[in-house]
Amino acid sequence: MHKIYLDKGEFNLNYQIPQIILSSLISGILNAIIKFLSLSEKKIISFKQIKESKIIDIKLKEVINILKIKFILFFIISFIFLLSFWFYITCFCGIYINTQIHLIKDTIISFSLSFLYPFAIYLLPAIFRLSSLKTKCWKKECLYKFSKILEML
């Protein structure tokens, strides 16, 4: 707020970039938590691979209980996040009326960045993997391993 006051209300992108990157990182962490709670294909795939009929009933109850707990936690945590974000933004915009334009600009830039960085994250390993499939020499294995390393990051 003080920086906006010193800049006489003008939008200073150089000052906002670290805050935008930090908010993108925080939203990425929150997104990972939400994905962990909402995605359940690993449990279902592990259940489908069971061959013994004696274990199927036990595993079915276990998987259903785990999925129920994960989904309940997902909805509770998502609802708490939404309420707290809504309350914070409402209070912020109610108190600092002149900074609403800055908040909207920061939100649009952060939202755009959150759409763009997955392209870089997923496109770079794909490029190395594709080039490893096209080459016919020893570089093939190195490029493929490097793409696996990039995928983990």
Residue 64 has pLDDT above 90, yes or no: no
DSSP characters for the chain? -HHHHHTTT---HHHHHHHHHHHHHHHHHHHHHHHHHH--HHHHHHHHT---HHHHHHHHHHHHHHHHHHHHHHHHHHHHHHHHHHHHHHHHHHH-GGGHHHHHHHHHHHHHHHHHHHHHHHHHHHHHHHHHHH--STHHHHHHHHHHHHHH-
Tokens of 131: 């080039």
How far are the Cα atoms of 29, 36, 54, 114 from residue 78, in angstroms, in the given order?
14, 12, 37, 19
- Mean pLDDT score of the chain, rounded to an integer? 80
Please state whether the predicted TM-score (pTM) of the whole model is above 0.85.
no
C-alpha span between 145 and 124 (Å, rounded): 13
Confidence of residue 57 (pLDDT cuts 50, 70, 90): confident
C-alpha span between 75 and 124 (Å, rounded): 34
**Sign of the CA dihedral 13, 14, 16, 19?**
positive
pLDDT in tens, 91-128: 888 888 877 887 888 788 877 877 887 777 788 888 88
C-alpha span between 41 and 63 (Å, rounded): 11
